Amino acid sequence: MPPCPSDYQMIKEALQFRQLYLGIAPHRFHFLKFILEGYDGLAILSSVDGKTGTVRLRYPVEAEGLLFEVLSALAPGLNKYAIS
């Protein structure tokens, strides 16, 4: 039996990813990528501009709460405006 249209909608919604753009200290990109890889399926990190530290996170909607908890905990170490 083929899936009904509502099944397609549920599948489509399950595959929806949100995007978040952040500015981080450029030298902290690999650190953030390493941490996110430890949370399998939490987010995909991409560099938008390596010189300025602009990054893009793509994440499933259902992972938003955990992602924001992780980012909040890491924020002080990722801050590109922090004085070293």
Q: pLDDT tens, 32-78?
A: 999 999 999 999 999 999 999 999 999 999 999 999 999 999 999 99
Asked, for residue 55, whether it belongs to a domain, the answer is yes
Asked, for residue 65, whether it belongs to a domain, the answer is yes
Asked, for residue 71, whether it belongs to a domain, the answer is yes
Q: What is the number of domains present in the chain?
A: 1
Q: Which residues contact 28 (CB under 8 A, 6 or more apart)?
A: 53, 77, 78, 80
pTM (2 d.p.)? 0.77
Q: Which two tokens stand for residue 7?
A: 């099944």
Closest to 39 (Cα-Cα) out of 76, 84, 74: 74
Dihedral in degrees, nearest 10, Cα atoms 49, 51, 53, 55: 20
Please give the residue range of the domain that contains residue 32: 17-78
